[in-house]
Amino acid sequence: MADVHLGFRQYGLAERAADFCRAFDSAIDYCLTEKPGFVVIAGDLFDAKSIDPQTYAQADAALQRLSQANIPVVANEGNHERWFRRGDHSWLWQLSRHGRLRLLRQFDPITGKPHAGEWTAERGFGAYTDIGSARIFGVEYLGARLPAHIDEIAASLSRIPSPDVRAVIGIMHTGIDEAFEYGSSGLSLEQLQPLESLTNYLALGHLHYAYQLPNDAPWIFNPGALEAHTILEGLTPNLVEGQTRERGIFDVRIHPGKPVSIEAVFRSDVIVRRSFQRLTVDVTEFSSFELLATAVKQSAKEQIGSSDEPAVIELRLTGQLKFDRVQLDQDALQEIVADIHKALHVRVTKHFNSSTSDISLTDATATRQEMERAVVHRLIAASPHAAQGDTLAKATLSLKAAALEGRSPEDMASQLEQLLT
């Protein structure tokens, strides 16, 4: 599993923080039922570097359940929880010192220098750990610096004696270029080749949707986040804007032999999550806010289905706004939808045009994505940065998508760093 994000108070709601804890507990429940040899958490157990006592207690209690069942937990640090100042430790280090998990990282947090030592509870971290006949190595979040260290990590791994090791599992927190629709992560499958011959299974975190790479013979697996970090994540696995992006965990069976065979079964159904729903209203035909509000009320009754608990609802406004944008009372629309469905939270997203001077393409069959891409390219081409047009266009579209999804500034800054490196 990966990207648990304990402590995330989405929309400022304590209920959403409880949802992230509940999703983690449901994953733990599954592990206790299946009794694996060990559990991997590939980064971002916590949503932030600084957490409150309640969040730490939630993590400690959940991990204690696995400890009592003699199921070891191995983890690395993601971009949300890792401290980047030399000498600072993350809360995962504290959990590691207490034996709740085994924290793996390639660089000493005190000296900043590479190390190849085995994990010990006394030190609180290690470059690798052996569990049974499996060797697990881990890499903390390194951002744009990761590609430059792949050869070094592979060389270090190959030097560790391994007489009884029959399978090698890696843990990283990074995206892969081939998994991105727009732009890049700064790390490609080709750059990972030095590790491929040494690794049977590479567990990833960072991107919040599940994927396996390469498609023909996967050895890299990213399960996605447990709970929804954005509206778009909450609406999947339903088809949303042409995407079916699921989130869950991988139940992995490793069959030692020559060669080692891996069986990874994706499970989304075992995770308990809050319901997200979308209500779409085209604003084009309404000449006043009052008419729009009446239509929203009617549409809310027709489009939104029932759920076992209060849902998070997105009110998505599309089309061409015919009245003054200042008259659009977002709070009133939120109240209308929330009152009808007793929603936990209603979020209004505006995807409409508010002027008649919108840029259009000559191709009437162009999709919105194609139009956006063309417009961005056109604007950059007319700027002093035209030489970097392709890179800047990919970065712009990627950040626009991230902003609409409600991603955190930290996520977006990290994404921008990777896109422009």
Residue 353, CB-side half-sphere exposure with 13 Å CA sphere: 9
Q: Which helix (H) or strand (E) holds 403?
A: helix 389-404
Q: Quick one: 84 exposed, middle or buried, by C-beta within 10 A (0-12, 13-18, 19+)?
A: exposed
Looking only at the bridges linking them, the beta strands covering 312-320 and 276-282 are parallel
Q: Find residue 314's DSSP bridge partners.
A: 278, 347
**Residue from 5, 80, 173, 341 carrying the catalytic annotation:** 80
80 catalytic? Reply is yes
What are the structure tokens assigned to 285, written together? 């035909």
The 8-class DSSP code of residue 184 comes to -
* DSSP structure string for 281-328: EE-TT-SSHHHHHHHHHHHHHHHPPP-SSPPEEEEEEEEE--S-GGG-
**Taking a C-beta distance cutoff of 8 angstroms, is the pair 318, 352 a contact?**
yes
Phi/psi of residue 78, nearest 5 degrees: -95, 180
DSSP 372: H
Residue with tokens 């209500």: 279
Strand 134-138 versus strand 167-173 pairing type: parallel
Contacts by 329-335, CB closer than 8 A, 24 or more apart: 329/289, 329/293, 332/293, 333/292, 333/293, 333/296
Positions marked catalytic: 80
